[in-house]
Amino acid sequence: MKILAIDTSSASLGVALCSEKAMLAEFTQNKALTHSEKLMPLIDTMLKNIDEDIKLVDAVACTTGPGSFTGIRIGVSTANAFAMANGIPVIGISSLEALAHNFKYADHVIVSTMYAQRDDYYRGIYSFEDAKIRIIKSEEAISKDDIIIEIREMMKSQKKVILCGEMPDRYRTGLMESEELKNLTKEPGFLIADKNLNFLRSSNLCEIAFDIITSGKAVDMPRYIEPVYIRKPQAEVQYEEKMAKVKAMQSMKDRG
């Protein structure tokens, strides 16, 4: 069995192909480029480099979110198209859970994050036992300050914590300022992930998909996957705010 994996949920773009015996190829570029232009050529390049035919793929795994609204739509629509054209199953996987799998052999609580605009982050909290994931808190969009409060609460219970994803990346590069996080980095039991572990590996999707298929859960999954946004796109929020102001102004005019 061979699985094609696709991740377009963040600035990084990743594709992978694996069999039940080996990881055959994995291509990742961690730079904010246009995924709509780069995804198909990257898949084509990967398959050509290892002399594989897309028609021999048995399943497609793809991140469904949360993350970049545009990126998620691109990945999901591509995965669905591959699955439909080849008559194979498509498996949707949480981007935050897949990111947490970078640390599946750690004895820490894993706090996975992706930027959600306006100093908010998509956050999921996980732990692993025998490399099997356990969800401590499901994915939400919350403020960076609330995430730090959650981490401190867990550390009060003697838990070790790893913070990974775009929150530590933005902190390191100066795009996010937080005196609280700076203080937290000095405390024993807390780690922020290295930059090479802060982006989602598409090979993680292959392993998660294999677990789903071998456990028999794939037969219960929908024929097509759908994006998971958690919150409305910023453009839609701005439009609703604008329309609310227009209605308020019109109401004031009507009242004379």
Domain residue limits, the chain: 2-96+200-236, 97-195
What pLDDT score was predicted for residue 34? 84
Q: Is 97-195 assigned to CATH 3.30.420.40?
A: yes
Q: Which ranges in the chain belong to alpha helices (H)?
A: 35-49, 69-86, 95-100, 144-156, 166-172, 179-184, 202-214, 234-254
Q: Which fold has domain 2-96+200-236?
A: Nucleotidyltransferase; domain 5 (3.30.420)
Whole-model pTM? 0.88
What pLDDT score was predicted for residue 250? 65
Instruction: Please give the share of the chain, as a percent, with pLDDT higher than 90.
Output: 79
Report yes or no: 104 and 86 within 8 Å, Cβ to Cβ: no
Task: Name residues of the chain where pLDDT drops below 50.
Answer: 235, 237, 239-240
- As a whole number of Å, the end-to-end CA separation of the chain is 71
What pLDDT score was predicted for residue 106? 95
Same fold, 2-96+200-236 and 97-195: yes
What pLDDT score was predicted for residue 237? 47
Give SS3 for 91.
strand
Please write the tens of the pLDDT for every residue from 166-175: 999 999 999 9
Please write the tens of the pLDDT for every residue from 52-85: 999 999 999 999 999 999 999 999 999 999 999 9
What pLDDT score was predicted for residue 216? 85
What pLDDT score was predicted for residue 235? 47
